[in-house]
Structure 1
Amino acid sequence: MMQKPPAEGDLGQVLVHLSAASRILLIVHKVPDGDCLGSVSAMLSALLAEGKETVAFCEDPAPVGYRFLPNLSRLYHANTMPPFQPDVIVVLDSADLGRIGEAVRFLDGNVPVVNIDHHIGNSRFGDVNWLDPAAPACGEMIYTLCREAGWKITPDVATALYTALMTDTGSFQYANTTADTLRLAAELRDLGARANEIREEVYERKPLAYLRLLSAVLPTLQVSKDGTVAWLCVTRETIAASGAGSNDCDGLINYPRSIDGVRVALLFREVSAGEIKVGFRSKGDIDVYAIACRFGGGGHRRASGCTFMGRMEEAEAQIVQAVMEKLGTA
């Protein structure tokens, strides 16, 4: 069995709050991905098994490919949230309050907030902040939490944690994958993680709209003259015409990233008029987190994002220039 280090920092206070609470609200970020959904699914399963009345909230619904995760029927969004008065609120996988969108309405100052996250530069918005930027996924932190709390890691919990770990490491291909990551994955398999089901649901059940979106977006591919930067652009009209949703843009950035010679890949996605979401991915040791921070964003060293207020053409010009300056190829 994989041996995890003893609780350090604020993990002890996380355990104190969760142990004392009877009613717990979990919150995850907008446009949820595999890590935040796997993490919240694991916590729902573990806390419900402990007899804790627990519900979760996300501004956006879970993508179809993740709805197999256990207990996501208790993940509410938009106006579906039932009346619920928690004893403690736990925010997962969110670097700042802007990431949780309309869920900030639950943070009224009357209920303690526990912040569990692995992003660099977390704003420490919680009453208790347990942060581990070295963790490859928030799901790994939830594994540690389960072990320290003495909660049983059932096949449902293991399946959720494996999903979190697998997706945030790019199926164990990204540079954040360590020997410990692989040992944890093996342990979760031994504990009953349904890896075949996860692979099929996450990677082999793409909606037709996703392929239509992909076929429309790939022609927007641009590559810098020196071949080190590549990017795609997605407009609201493109998404609407394909029948896709914003969640279907997940993974598009991997196409420019896969080009031989490209060191930084970008995805520009129009969210609303004058609002562009920008994703950054890098190869090697290129720090795109530092670039994202210049534009008010954040994330990880090799995977970050920001919001650019302006036109798509302005976003492309300014951000590509900033990336090329970082690479020394401007």
Structure 2
Amino acid sequence: MIPKHPVEGELGQAIAHLSAASRILLFVHKVPDGDCLGSVSAMLSVLEACGKKAIAYCDDPAPLGYRFLPGLSRLYDAATLPPFEPDLLVVLDSADRGRIGDGVRWLDGNVPVVNIDHHIGNGCFGDVNWLDPSAPACGEMIFHLCRAAGWTITPDVATALYTAVMTDTGSFQYANTTADTLRLAAELRDLGARVNEIREEVYERKPLAYLRLLSSVLTSLQLSADGRVAWLRVTGETMTVSGAGANDCDGLINYPRAIDGVQVALLFREVDAGQIKVGFRSKGDIDVYAIARRFGGGGHRRASGCTFMGGLDDAEKQIVQAVMDEIGTA
């Protein structure tokens, strides 16, 4: 049995707000991943079971491999969000307000905001900020929330939370995987998590556009002279020709990261002519969070990101150099 979190402090306040509310609007970040989608799926299920009206907002659609998650029919964007007057707003897995995109306008009203997140350097933009940077996934925090609140973890909830934790730990392979994480995975399986369905949907269901994108992007692979930094480039033209969307870029960075001798992998994605999304992944003790912070980004020690305002060539030149400087002092 994994340790319980004490029902006090920010966790206790989060539970009190959720218990008192009757109409709850949940938010997850743009270009959603398995952790935020698993977390919001679980929250939608438990809140509905408690007799509450709950819907969720995301700027971007769920990737194909996560659409099996229960409750995502109640995940809306700005164009499809139905009329709704919430008495509580809950932001999941977002280090700052800007990560929820157009949904940020909701946070500027009089409705209280509960912020639940596991990223380093969270902006504490909520009225209640339950933050745990030691948690490998927001989904693990939602598990503790459910247990502390006395909410039943049904097979649907267990499936959602297993998906969240599995994906944010790289199938329990990343350094953020602890003994408690593995105990949690076992407990979720005992509670009915449909692990075979999760594996098939997440890892064996890809759109054709993803494979077209992958085949094009791999030709852009570059390595530093010492072989310790590797990176890929995704141009706007490549995205257009392949027919891929932003969600299809998920996981591309793992290819340069897997190269023998590489300590830091980078993915440069051209959003438009003057905006580049940059992903960072590291092995060993390299702190890519510190590098991303220099460029206004954030995340985790071994997995971070930032937005570079400028051209693709400038982004590559400046950020690769910053990584090389960091490696030189590691």
Same fold (TM over 0.5): yes
Q: Contact 2:4 / 2:148 at 8 angstroms: preserved in 1?
A: no
Structure 2 counterpart of 1:139: 139
Question: TM-score normalised to the size of structure 1?
Answer: 0.99
Q: Write out per-residue CA displacement over residues 151-204 of structure 1, whole angstroms, 9 at most, x where no aligned residue.
A: 000000000000000000000000000000000000000000000000000000
Q: Contact 1:97 / 1:104 at 8 angstroms: preserved in 2?
A: yes
Structure 1 counterpart of 2:222: 222
Distance across 1 between alignment mates of 2:53 and 2:312: 45
Q: Write out per-residue CA displacement over residues 8-43 of structure 1, whole angstroms, 9 at most, x where no aligned residue.
A: 430010011011101000000000000000000000
Amino acid at match of 2:35: D
Distance across 2 between alignment mates of 1:249 and 1:272: 15
Structure 1 counterpart of 2:14: 14
Structure 1 residue 5 corresponds to structure 2 residue 1: no
What are the equivalent positions in structure 2 for 1:229-308 lying under 5 Å apart? Answer: 229-308=229-308
What are the equivalent positions in structure 2 for 1:71-150 lying under 5 Å apart? Answer: 71-150=71-150
Amino acid at match of 1:203: Y
Q: Contact 2:5 / 2:148 at 8 angstroms: preserved in 1?
A: no
Q: Write out per-residue CA displacement over residues 97-123 of structure 1, whole angstroms, 9 at most, x where no aligned residue.
A: 110100012113310000000000000
Amino acid at match of 2:83: P
- Kindly tell me: are residues 149 and 329 of structure 1, through their superposed partners in 2, closer, same or farther at Cα, counting changes over 3 Å? closer
Structure 2 counterpart of 1:157: 157
Distance across 1 between alignment mates of 2:289 and 2:142: 24
After TM superposition, give the deviation of residue 272 of structure 1 in Å: 1.2
Distance across 2 between alignment mates of 1:155 and 1:329: 47
Distance across 2 between alignment mates of 1:5 and 1:35: 20
Distance across 2 between alignment mates of 1:244 and 1:60: 13
Question: TM-score normalised to the size of structure 2?
Answer: 0.99
Q: Contact 1:271 / 1:277 at 8 angstroms: preserved in 2?
A: yes
Structure 1 counterpart of 2:47: 47
Q: How much identity, in percent, do the aligned residues show?
A: 81
Q: Write out per-residue CA displacement over residues 190-219 of structure 1, whole angstroms, 9 at most, x where no aligned residue.
A: 000000000000000111111110000000
Q: Contact 2:220 / 2:233 at 8 angstroms: preserved in 1?
A: yes
SS in 2 for 1:107: helix
Q: Write out per-residue CA displacement over residues 21-70 of structure 1, whole angstroms, 9 at most, x where no aligned residue.
A: 01000000000000000000000000000100000000111111100000
Q: Contact 1:60 / 1:78 at 8 angstroms: preserved in 2?
A: no
Amino acid at match of 1:133: P
After TM superposition, give the deviation of residue 329 of structure 1 in Å: 7.7
Q: Contact 1:227 / 1:261 at 8 angstroms: preserved in 2?
A: yes
Distance across 1 between alignment mates of 2:8 and 2:131: 10
Distance across 1 between alignment mates of 2:36 and 2:185: 17
Q: Contact 1:17 / 1:88 at 8 angstroms: preserved in 2?
A: yes
Q: Contact 2:37 / 2:62 at 8 angstroms: preserved in 1?
A: yes
Amino acid at match of 1:155: P
Structure 1 counterpart of 2:26: 26
Q: Contact 2:78 / 2:103 at 8 angstroms: preserved in 1?
A: no
Structure 1 residue 170 corresponds to structure 2 residue 205: no
- Structure 1 segments, 4+ long, off by >3 Å, are none
Structure 2 counterpart of 1:36: 36
RMSD between aligned residues: 1.0
5+ residue gaps, structure 2, are none
Distance across 2 between alignment mates of 1:240 and 1:196: 34
